[in-house]
Amino acid sequence: MTTHTNGAAQDEEELTSARNALRESDLRFQTLADAFPHMVWSTLPDGFHDYYNARWYEFTGVPEGSTDGEGWNDMFHPDDQERAWARWRHCLETGDPYEIEYRLRHRSGRYRWVLGRAMPMRAGDGQIIRWMGTCTDIHEQKEVAEQNEILSRELSHRIKNIFSVIGGLIGLSARRQPEHREFAGELQSRVSALGRAHELVRPHSEKSQPQIKTESLRALIEDVLSPYVAMSEGRIRIVGDDVRIDDRGATPIALLVHELATNAIKYGSLSVDEGTVDIAITRAREDCELTWVERGGPHIEGVPTHAGFGTRLAEMSVVHQLGGTLSRQWSREGLEALARVNMRALAR
């Protein structure tokens, strides 16, 4: 009898100790969460919100417990609710980390931009037992980013106007000096290519970003060649890797591709309806190789004896501006050009 009583007392003592340890652990977590400058929240595995720290209630000004369950979604801006729900449901279904920017109603009644993040907590068998998340006020950063975007668009607009003015001045000069009309046309085309390259690689927001991928070498080449009929006909093909490029490398590469295309249309494979150009982008350790191969054009009888302005400009762009190499092989079937540039020269 005494042994049974002692055992029961010991069990009760262990249970009490476990409860105290749990309360102490909860208190430590609560104190730590309330000390964070971020809003902290957690949910059950099915996404039911059952905890918010003090920062959440300070920011939102809502009564404690009023945003439990699905009540949190009413705190979002109406335009953000569907998007936030869709992202959250996807994470609950897949276990992917949750990250999204949305506008959250502040206690002042205004909406402020916040960054929401959450990670799943998993048991030893991999099952999700809880989601832990945070909300971080990023409203000021968003306002600064929007101001920068406005300035960037204005600057880009002015730069594009400068390109247009330069093109107009070239055309005006050519009308007064007809003997220079052909050269003026080539120069106008080069200025236009630079304008397209500038628009591609300038800083963009989600709203202003072009449909093509920003900072993509392949996209840059496609954009420079887009005015040519051979591109839409599929006679210009681009294959291989893609490489990051920014304003450092965009202008020289745009000039090189433009000059190669111009010469191909005048004298090379694109001067006939059957001609083709194959462009390959290849990563070679720390270098990027850009290969240009013309086929199906007029047969080449030998290496040209005269290097025009465009050829010298292309060499200057690759060799002097980017510190790379540019080689050409004049086979009977057509021109083969190879530009090799260190990838650090193409983008910072």
Nearest Cα to Cα of residue 322 among 225, 256, 241, 242: 256
CATH classification for the domain delimited by 213-348, as one of 3.20.20.70, 3.30.360.10, 3.40.50.2300, 3.30.565.10: 3.30.565.10
CATH classification for the domain delimited by 36-137, as one of 3.20.20.120, 3.40.1620.10, 3.40.50.300, 3.30.450.20: 3.30.450.20
DSSP string, 273-308: TT-EEEEEEEEETTEEEEEEEEESSSPP-S--S---
Look-up of token digits 């290496």: 303
Q: Where are the beta strands (DSSP E) in 66-110?
A: 98-105
Q: Give the β-pairing of 287-295 and 325-331.
A: unpaired
What's residue 212's pLDDT? 45
Spans in the chain with pLDDT lower than 50: 22, 211-213
Q: What is the largest CA-CA distance in the chain?
A: 121
Six-digit token string for 98: 């949750």
Contact residues for 317 (Cβ-Cβ < 8 A; gap 6+): 251, 252, 253, 255, 256
Full-model pTM: 0.49
DSSP string, 305-326: S---HHHHHHHIIIIIIT--EE
The backbone torsions φ and ψ at residue 309, rounded to the nearest 5 degrees and listed phi first, read: -60, -40
Task: Write out pLDDT tens, residues 113-155.
Answer: 999 999 999 998 999 999 999 999 999 998 888 887 777 777 7
What's residue 13's pLDDT? 65
